[in-house]
């Protein structure tokens, strides 16, 4: 509400909704002018250290660059592993106009530190209250490439943990990369070195990977297997499909129960535009087939190994060669 103001850090992406809700409830329950989140940070950091008076009230927040200016009794606290300020605050809005004007520019950084407001409030007997957070990872700020690496890994593991809770089996979390915004059905198994981009939807009981890249805009039906060294892009795949070995499929609609042989490729780009490929239900695409889009493979059709298919293939027919030509199979009628 307008009566209260919350301050968050734009460079601290790991703070959770659960923590913020709990913190806001704490602030409202304490009914003080200011509350802020603290934690015991063991990782190397440059976060402000919380200094407390003899009664345990937050007395000030000392930025580590100003550690020499801290009172002697507090200097032993200015080291890694101590209680630090998260930079997340709740204020009674009414106290901000008056107290913000009392903050002086820091001579070393040539900027104004909001942390000084804790000292200002303490001098006036308006003690701030601290909300201690057990999981210090949530307040990690991104200031170095190492911080970015750490935060990205935490976020990635959170995403994978959510899939675990929903019944997805991930063989090796350390080598599995799934972006936010992916949907995966129950009992699907993901093998190592699989990368799934946001916007992908995968059904139940699928097998994915290893060494698989599924790009945005892809939909995968139930019971489908996508295997080794494959890239799938903007492709709709039906149920019971088998694409188990290396290849590329882009801008393709694959109907149910299709088998895609090893090394199959859809040549979807002509240098100017992307084109569509359609593979009908029950079709069999032979190893090393190249489907030159736009092209349609009819239901039950077969392409021979190494075929270059640059025109539509009729249902239940077989094509072979470069370029692919229809052949008659045993049992075909003459005339």
Q: How far is the CA of 107 from the CAs of 9, 12, 49, 104, 128, in angstroms?
A: 23, 25, 19, 9, 25
Distance CA 106, CA 170 (A): 49
C-alpha to C-alpha distance for 115 and 118, rounded to whole angstroms: 6
End-to-end CA distance of the chain: 83
Query: How many C-beta atoms lie closer than 10 Å to residue 321's C-beta?
Result: 14
> Using CA atoms, how far apart are residues 160 and 164, in angstroms rounded to an integer?
6
Instruction: List the catalytic residues.
Output: 245
For residues 4 and 161, what is the distance between their CA atoms, to the nearest angstrom? 34
């Amino acid at each position: 509400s307008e009566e209260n103001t919350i301050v968050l850090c734009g460079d601290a992406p790991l703070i959770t909704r659960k923590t913020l809700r709990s913190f806001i409830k704490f602030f409202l329950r304490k009914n003080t002018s200011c509350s802020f989140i603290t934690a015991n940070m063991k990782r190397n950091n440059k976060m402000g250290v919380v200094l407390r008076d003899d009664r345990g009230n937050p007395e000030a927040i000392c930025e580590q660059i100003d550690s020499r200016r801290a009172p002697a009794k507090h200097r032993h606290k200015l080291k890694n592993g101590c209680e630090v300020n998260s930079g997340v605050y709740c204020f009674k809005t009414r106290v901000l106009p008056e107290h913000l004007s009392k903050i002086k520019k820091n001579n070393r950084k040539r900027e104004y530190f909001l942390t000084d407001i804790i000292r200002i409030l303490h001098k006036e007997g308006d003690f701030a209250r601290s909300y201690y957070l057990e999981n210090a990872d949530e307040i990690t700020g991104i200031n170095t490439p190492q911080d970015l690496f750490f935060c990205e890994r935490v976020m990635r593991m959170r995403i994978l943990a959510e899939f675990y809770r929903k019944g997805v089996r991930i063989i090796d979390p350390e080598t599995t990369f799934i972006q936010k915004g992916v949907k995966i059905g129950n009992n699907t198994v993901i093998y190592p070195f699989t990368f799934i981009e946001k916007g992908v939807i995968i059904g139940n009981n699928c097998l994915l990977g290893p060494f698989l890249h599924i790009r945005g805009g892809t939909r995968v039906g139930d019971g489908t297997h996508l295997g080794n060294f494959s890239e799938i892009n903007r492709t709709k795949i039906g149920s019971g499909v088998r694409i188990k070995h290396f290849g590329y499929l882009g801008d393709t609609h694959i109907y149910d129960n299709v088998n895609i042989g090893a090394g199959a490729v859809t040549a979807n780009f002509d240098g100017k535009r992307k084109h569509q490929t359609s593979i009908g239900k029950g079709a069999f695409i032979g190893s090393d087939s190249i489907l030159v889009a736009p092209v349609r493979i009819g239901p039950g059709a077969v392409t021979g190994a190494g075929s270059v298919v640059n025109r539509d293939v009729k249902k239940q027919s077989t094509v072979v060669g470069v370029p692919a030509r229809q052949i008659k199979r045993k049992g075909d009628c003459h005339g």
